[in-house]
Amino acid sequence: MAKSRTFSIIKPDATRRNLTGQVNAVIESAGLRIVAQKRIRLSDAQAKKFYEVHKDRPFYGELVSQMTAEPVVVQVLEGEDAVAAYRKVMGATNPKEAADGTIRKLFALSIGENSVHGSDSPENATIEIAQFFTDADITG
Ligand code: CMP
């Protein structure tokens, strides 16, 4: 499998608890390379657009308000089959179902405050990366 990229967000519940470095250590230990990264505050419009696919779900309003309340760290990760590799490292969306050693098992507070987001397909990875980074921002 060739190298590919995925998009990651370290969410406010993790940045608030000063866990960025610990999350990154798990990412890097899994063989993924952080090839772009920045700490930003999402605007309401950015968060609504990013999570538009969930706009009819009951948790959408709370999700947008949580994601805009405090800083996030947006990242591009590179590695073999990066989307699948990162999903494995993140663990299940609900931390109660996440496997031992995964980011969500280690750090997540709840299904809503689940510490990280990762793209669910290579197609969405390309779309999500382009919402926050240009090609010039991404180094090898
Ligand atoms: P994420 O991978 O960022 O994608 C959508 C987010 O919605 C998810 O992680 C959770 O943080 C949040 N969320 C809140 N409640 C739910 C729920 N019941 N099911 C799925 N996602 C939820």
What pLDDT digit, counting tens, does each position of 84-105 carry? 999 999 999 999 999 999 999 9
Interacting residues of 4 by C-beta distance below 8 A, sequence separation 6+: 78, 79, 80, 81, 82, 83, 122, 125
Q: How far is the CA of 140 from the centre of ligand 1 (A)?
A: 30
11 lines ligand 1 (CB under 6 A): no
What pLDDT digit, counting tens, does each position of 43-54 carry? 999 999 999 999
Q: Is the pTM of this model over 0.95?
A: yes
**Catalytic option among 36, 76, 117, 128:** 117
Going by alpha carbons, the residue nearest to atom 4 of ligand 1 is: 117
- Is 117 annotated in the active site? yes
Identify the sign of the CA torsion 50, 111, 71, 66.
positive
How many whole angstroms separate alpha carbon 41 and alpha carbon 70? Answer: 6
Q: How far is the CA of 15 from the centre of ligand 1 (A)?
A: 17
